[in-house]
């Protein structure tokens, strides 16, 4: 729940600001991009000047939301002056300096007032005003409330962006964050005419051959621990090259082993181009994986969490598997 005085402060700040910068986490997902587009549409209706700067490029599949072309790949030389001159910065779907990448570094160098709208367990006080609702299915759900509170017209791109948030972050209404409110949000958006079939097709039925090749490689690498309760696999730079796939095409891959009978926890170990290992943890809802991620500097939700670790796959995998097995003791 977001307290009433926080809502008040948030809507006041939005009302007063003229030049606003929006950002989100590295490797943005549907909720991150959807929230950015939704907030920018709310602000556009009020005639505000909006910039969206992200550390990472936008995954191609979400280009359909970037209809105004406002989302820009952050370039410190060109964009840092715009941050310095802004009246307000809005950080969406993240409260972790490290996961704000280069934009985060620029923000830490500026004293512009910042608000953070998020539904994760808070990692850092990245903003002066923290509008956090851990009970929200997605950041877009909070933005939907914001749209209502500010009297925005929820239609067109704004409605499509919000629908993309709730669709992707709940895994198409399958994960434990699928609340009655998430369904009501989807229902209201469908009543407003959101083309849900088209959005589903854009998000889930645009796999490149490379992504399917990666899926095959991941399945081939599946390993099991604890009598099948833990399923894990690796994604190496070699696999990405062999498949001609991009790193962002690993999105949703951590969900793959969930469908296997008896699996409770799944782990994807992805080797990044920068020489880190990114771990993605998923739980079907009986054991929490957040603390494990947190122990290695990561975070997220109880049943979907991640972290970036220094080291090679050979070093990281056994350490994490040891911790994962301990979840069942």
Report the residue number, 99 or 234, with the smaller CB distance to ligand 5GP: 99
149, with CB counted inside 10 A (0-12, 13-18, 19+), is: middle
Binding site for Mn ion (CB under 5 A): 31, 93, 138-139, 169
Q: Is 254 among the residues that bind ligand 5GP (CB under 6 A)?
A: yes
Beta strands in the chain (DSSP E): 19-24, 49-54, 71-73, 88-92, 114-118, 129-132, 223-225, 230-235, 265-271, 276-283, 299-300, 304-310
Nearest alpha-carbon partner for 178 in 187, 170, 186: 170
Q: Is 299 among the residues that bind ligand 5GP (CB under 6 A)?
A: yes
Q: Is 13 among the residues that bind ligand 5GP (CB under 6 A)?
A: no
Q: Is 308 among the residues that bind ligand 5GP (CB under 6 A)?
A: yes
- Using CB under 6 A as the binding rule, the residues of this chain from 80 to 99 that contact ligand 5GP are 96, 99
Distance, CA of 257 to CA of 248 (rounded, Å): 19
Nearest alpha-carbon partner for 254 in 291, 281, 216: 281
Report the residue number, 203 or 304, with the smaller CB distance to ligand 5GP: 304
Q: How far is the CB of 289 from ligand 5GP (least distance, A)?
A: 9
Q: How far is the CB of 304 from ligand 5GP (least distance, A)?
A: 4
Report the residue number, 229 or 301, with the smaller CB distance to Mn ion: 301
Report the residue number, 86 or 94, with the smaller CB distance to ligand 5GP: 94
Q: Choose the one of ligand 5GP, Mn ion, none that binds residue 249, judging by a C-beta under 5 to 8 angstroms depending on kind.
A: none
- Beta-bridge partners for 232: 223, 267
Q: Choose the one of ligand 5GP, Mn ion, none that binds residue 31, judging by a C-beta under 5 to 8 angstroms depending on kind.
A: Mn ion
Residue number of the CB atom closest to Mn ion: 31
Q: Is 55 among the residues that bind ligand 5GP (CB under 6 A)?
A: no
- Beta-bridge partners for 267: 232, 281
Q: How far is the CB of 290 from ligand 5GP (least distance, A)?
A: 8
- Using CB under 6 A as the binding rule, the residues of this chain from 116 to 135 that contact ligand 5GP are 120, 123
Report the residue number, 164 or 266, with the smaller CB distance to Mn ion: 164
Q: How far is the CB of 33 from Mn ion (least distance, A)?
A: 10
Give the residue, chosen from 92, 136, 199, 305, that forms a contact with ligand 5GP under the rule CB under 6 A.
305
Distance, CA of 221 to CA of 20 (rounded, Å): 45
**CA 41 to chain centroid:** 19
* Helix (H), strand (E), coil (C) string for 180-247: HHHHHHHHHHHHCCCCHHHHHHHHHCCCCHHHHHHHHHHHHCCEEEHHHCEEEEEECHHHHHHHCCCH
Q: Is 301 among the residues that bind ligand 5GP (CB under 6 A)?
A: yes
Contact residues for ligand 5GP (CB under 6 A)? 96, 99, 120, 123, 254, 280, 298-301, 304-308
């Amino acid at each position: 729940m977001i307290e009433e005085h926080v809502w008040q402060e948030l809507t006041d700040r939005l009302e007063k600001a003229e030049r606003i910068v929006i950002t989100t986490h590295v490797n943005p997902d549907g909720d991150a991009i959807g929230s950015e587009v939704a907030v920018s549409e709310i602000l556009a209706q009020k005639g505000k000047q909006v910039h969206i700067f992200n550390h990472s490029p936008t995954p191609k599949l979400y280009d359909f939301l970037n209809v105004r072309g406002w989302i820009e790949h952050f370039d410190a030389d060109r964009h840092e002056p715009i941050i310095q001159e802004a009246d307000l910065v809005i950080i969406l779907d993240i409260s972790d300096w490290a996961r704000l990448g280069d934009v985060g570094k620029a923000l830490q160098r500026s004293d512009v007032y910042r608000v953070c709208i998020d539904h994760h367990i808070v990692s850092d006080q990245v903003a002066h005003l923290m509008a956090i609702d851990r009970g929200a299915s997605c950041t877009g759900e909070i933005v939907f409330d914001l749209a209502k509170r500010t009297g925005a017209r929820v239609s067109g791109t704004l409605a499509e962006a919000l629908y993309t948030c709730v669709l992707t972050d709940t895994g198409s209404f399958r994960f434990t964050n699928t609340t009655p409110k998430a369904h009501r949000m989807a229902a209201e958006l469908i009543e407003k005419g959101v083309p849900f079939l088209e959005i589903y097709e854009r998000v889930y039925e645009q796999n490149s051959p490379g992504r399917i090749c990666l899926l095959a490689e991941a399945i081939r690498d599946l390993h099991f621990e604890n009598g099948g309760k833990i399923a894990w696999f690796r994604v190496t730079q070699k696999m990405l090259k062999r498949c001609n796939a991009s790193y962002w095409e690993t999105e949703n891959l951590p969900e793959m082993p969930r469908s296997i009978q008896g699996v409770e926890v799944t782990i994807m170990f992805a080797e990044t181009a920068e020489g880190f290992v990114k771990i993605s943890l998923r739980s079907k809802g009986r054991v929490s994986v957040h603390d494990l991620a947190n122990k290695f500097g990561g975070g997220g939700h109880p049943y979907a969490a991640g972290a970036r670790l220094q080291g090679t796959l050979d070093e990281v995998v056994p350490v994490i598997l040891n911790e994962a097995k301990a979840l069942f003791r």
